[in-house]
Amino acid sequence: MRCNFFLAIFLIALQLPAQKKYPQDTFRPPLEIPLVLAGTFGELRSNHFHSGMDIKTQQREGLPVFAIGDGTVTRIKVSHWGYGKALYIAHPNGYTSVYAHLKKFGPEIEEYVKKAQYEKQSYEVEMFPDYGELKVTQGGTIAYSGNTGSSAGPHLHFEIRNSVNGKPTNPLLYGYEVRDATDPTLLGLYGYPLSEGALINQSADKIQLNYTRQSDGSYLADKVTAIGTIGFGINSFDRLDMAANKNGVYAIKQTVNGRVYSEFDFDSFSFGETRYINTLIDYAHFYDHRQKIQKCFKEPYNHLNIYESLYNDGKIKVEEGVSYNTELLISDVAGNTTKLIIPIDGKKQEEKISKIDKTTENFVIADKPNNFDLGAAKVYFPASTFYEDFFINLEKGSDTITIHDNSVAAHRNFTISFDPSKYSAEDRKQMFIAHLDSKSRSSYSKTYKRDGSFTTRTRTLGTYTLVKDSIAPEIKPKNFKEKQWLSNYSYLSLAISDDLSGIDTYSATLNGKWILMEYEPKTNTITYDFEDNISNETECELKVTVTDNVGNSTTFVGNFFRK
């Protein structure tokens, strides 16, 4: 059946070039309420671009979610993090819609998912139904909105993907009505000297530039004096009507003396390249100031395919005695545009602000593997862990090591290996590799114990050490007491927590039979729905076992009555 599905998608792909780029008035909205957005497509998130739009659900959960068109369910995923409960529907026109952070699925799909969860005895499941096994019709209720996974509040994360290549596309390009009459907002302008000897306003380092708003609503930067190859970056956001959220902008276009030097937009992108967001933004500035500057020039290690046009990679070669007029157009999907004009005079000048010397004893060559021995641990960076060569700060220690800081982005995982031999075998059972934040608070880094070594794979630079966790998790009932009658209850709820290494697994039985407990890490709560009807006995024994990441375990046993 799946072969037939992929054949159908391939045949649709052959027809797509003859169609409009994005079909209009084909898909209905996924919710009945007005579409007010908390997040837009392509928005700059941590290490990735936002792949859909976040629709506000009036701070509520449980709103009906509708299929935007006829189709068939091709994927269902339930996880504690990420998208939480998510549903994927393939449509006959070659697109797939995605609905995430759901509270629950529609009745038929919910039954399908529960069956798989009980068969696998796992809350987290991922399924790929056969093509046509779970058909949906446009406007049919497929789920209910929620707050599951890594959601920060009730909303519906909604995507439309190309079924052929899996790329997410901007849902606002499909004719959905979202009110937006507001121009994007400009928060900051920065200049970057890029070549040897280049200067901007006598600075060899990045420099913030001033600008003023003009009577026509555009912005004019103070005249810039420069020499050598330079580039610009901006900090901006877009705000839609009826919402205060600071959303991402849709497109940025840079022209120099009338010629397009760089232009990119967020029609679509590939999940495989999304981590290259860290080359589009000034990552070190983000680390220092929590502000995301988008570069209007393309770095040599930037492999994003979002660019519509590039000349000299968006870099401006400023010559002495020549004037340049740079114009930046910042746009949203609705066509609202903010214009910034930057006048440049090519002029030799005295350097007054030098680049900060970041030389250290150790140097990383990005396209080669790099090994470092830090005493307590060894660090291995595979080739292409980083985007560019740089001097790395490494601090050795008997128990703790420091690997630079998070001002540098790692594109892929590197390996840290600790030697725990000085600790007893009994202690090692309860130890793990921890990352320490700026306040020395530890967080568990997935630790593999083999061949007398503790190893973790991570993309996070910073300070690491070995930590012992000897305290077992806690389990407390939330909505019931021992020997209580629960005939009028619809669910059981318990709080589970662990103070150090974090929860690894949990399981529960009711009168000896495995039951599905839904875990919500944001509230440290597990919940059982009595509608599952696992036991019809009046006297019930509930047994819950929770294990942390180093193997400490706690079992709770409680009794209640129910008719």
Convert the pLDDT of each residue in 274-303 to its tens digit.
Answer: 999 999 999 999 999 999 999 999 999 999
- Rounded mean pLDDT, 54-63: 97
Q: Which two tokens stand for residue 453?
A: 């070594």
* Residue 64 neighbours by CB distance under 10 Å: 15
Report the range of poorest mean pLDDT among 19-28, 138-147, 454-463, 546-555: 19-28
pLDDT at site 107:
96
Using alpha carbons only, how large is the chain's radius of gyration in Å? 27
Does residue 398 register a pLDDT over 90? no
The CB-based long-range contact list for 389-395 (8 Å cut-off, 24+ gap) reads 389/363, 389/364, 389/365, 390/358, 390/363, 390/364, 390/366, 391/358, 391/359, 391/360, 391/362, 391/363, 391/364, 392/360, 392/362, 392/363, 392/364, 393/360, 393/362, 394/360, 394/361, 394/362
Does residue 11 register a pLDDT over 50? no
The CATH number of domain 474-561 is 2.60.40.1220: yes
Looking at the chain, how many residues does it have? Answer: 563
What pTM does this model have?
0.92
Query: Which value, to the nearest 10 degrees, does the dihedral of the CA atoms of residues 14, 15, 17, 19 take?
Result: -160
pLDDT at site 473:
98
Collect all residues with Cβ–Cβ distance below 8 Å to 453 and sequence separation of at least 6.
417, 418, 419, 420
Does residue 397 register a pLDDT over 90? no
Does residue 17 register a pLDDT over 70? no
Q: Which two tokens stand for residue 202?
A: 């006598």
pLDDT at site 451:
86
- Rounded mean pLDDT, 300-309: 96
pLDDT band at 20 (very low <50, low <70, confident <90, very high): very low
CATH of region 37-173:
2.70.70.10
Mean pLDDT of the chain: 95
CATH class entry, domain 362-468: mainly beta
- Rounded mean pLDDT, 259-286: 97
- Domain residue spans of the chain: 37-173, 185-346, 362-468, 474-561
pLDDT at site 284:
96
Q: Which two tokens stand for residue 504?
A: 């690894």
Query: pLDDT tens for residues 342-370?
Result: 999 999 999 999 999 999 999 999 999 99
